[in-house]
Amino acid sequence: MLSGRQDEPTPIPLWRNRDFLLLWTGQVVSTIGSRVSGIAYPLLVLTLTGSAAQAGLVSAAQTAPFLIWFLPAGALVDRWPRKRILLVADAGRAIALASVAVAVLLGRLTIDHLVVVAFTEGTLYVFFLLAETAALPFVVSPLQLPAAVAQNQARDQGAGLVGQPLGGFLFALGLAVPFALDAVSYLVGVVMTAPLRRPLQEERPPERRHLAAEIWEGLRWLWGQHLLRALVAIASVGNLAFSALSLTIIVRARELGASTTSIGTVLGLFGVGAIAGAVAAPPVQRLVPSNVILLGALWWWVAQMVALALAPSVFVLGAVYTVGGLMGPIFQTANAAYRYALTPDRLQGRVYGVSRMIGWCTVPLGALLGGISLQSLGAVPTFAALAACLAVVAVASTASRQIRQASRPEPSAAPSTR
């Protein structure tokens, strides 16, 4: 069902919600820290070895956990205390990043060390992401979930805008500095999460089944939910297209004669648009039916790709890219509203883990196909191919009765432990 009772007709504003502010503020700091180290990893490898292949190995080690851990981590997040997962994940990442800073200062850093740290950080990120997402309905009122989701997206986009330039600046100050700052940022996350008062999951009778059985339960439940299954499919194909977009923007900007500074500015403008979209997402969610948001976003992105292909200058390219960034947070807020409304708390971790794994598994393929298309055809035909891919998704979604007739997801009943 997409409806339920509203247990808090007049919830306190998010800015006065102690637990939400603690969790959100801690993650602002730690997310900026992770963006700082994200750019520092390849810079450090290139500085020490000059090898792009080894830099790619470290990057792969950081992202490999996304494919490895989402399924089992989702089941474990539904089984273990979520607050403990948040604390252990941030503490573990602090220790891992601090070890890099210490090794650099001692002159003992190796590529193997960096690979292990990158893999550890990526693994703990998966656990933290699933636990934080599943815990959110226990931190805010059901009425405020769209606003809270939007604020988390604004947090992530803002961290990207601040963290990457800051990472380059700090790396210039010293090779160990970005990693030391990231370690401190995760400690801030621990300090801010520890005082949370509310329970972050329903009370459940102790039950231990085989992990594979719990994973299968989540997969089977999601498969039986036609609307959520369709949204996961949309995300998977959409990520296939969007994973090639940044490189296509770069190639097209170079074809239009842009400098490296201009290209960096164009790419940064997407974050500006996304932050604006995150601000707009809650009122749009209230005023516009969610199924209209979902379908409108898909056609919006088709139009964006066409406009990018036709852009006659770098200025227009940047403007279209910025406006395109508006729709992502609005779409994700509507998507999350359906997932929270339909998914019982005992399955939140598993359902979100399955969704993210399926949604992200197409990213490497999309990047590969995008590179091949750019090499063989050029930027404008690649934009046309991306528009065609998204148009297929938009047509199929518009034809889908589950999406076209989906009712507005109403706030679900409050978790029983709140």
Beta-carbon contacts of 417 under 8 Å, excluding residues fewer than 6 positions away, are 138, 198, 199, 201, 202, 203
Q: Please name each of the domains of the chain with its CATH number.
A: 1-208 (1.20.1250.20), 211-412 (1.20.1250.20)
The amino acid present at 379, given as its one-letter code, is A
3-state secondary structure of 410: coil
Encode pLDDT of 49-103 as tens digits.
888 788 888 888 888 888 889 999 999 999 899 999 999 999 999 999 999 999 9
- Other Cβ atoms within 10 Å of 340 Cβ, number: 22
What six digits make up the tokens of 378?
């050029």
Has residue 28 got a pLDDT over 80?
A: yes
Encode pLDDT of 323-361 as tens digits.
988 998 999 999 998 999 899 998 999 999 999 888 888
- At 7, the pLDDT band (50, 70, 90 cuts) reads very low
Rounded-to-integer distance, Cα 396 and Cα 338, Å: 19
For the packed helices 211-224 and 348-360, what is the interaxial angle rounded to 10 degrees? Answer: 70
Q: Are 64 and 119 in contact (CB under 8 A)?
A: yes
Please tell me the total number of residues recorded for the chain in this structure: 418
Mean pLDDT of the chain: 88
42: alpha, beta or left, given left = phi > 0 and alpha = psi -120 to 50? alpha
What six digits make up the tokens of 286?
């209230």
What per-residue confidence (pLDDT) applies to 205? 64
Separation of first and last alpha carbons in the chain: 21
Rounded-to-integer distance, Cα 348 and Cα 224, Å: 15
Asked whether the whole model's pTM tops 0.95, one would answer no
Encode pLDDT of 195-237 as tens digits.
998 888 887 666 667 888 888 999 999 999 999 999 999 999 9
Has residue 127 got a pLDDT over 80?
A: yes
H or E stretch covering 289: none
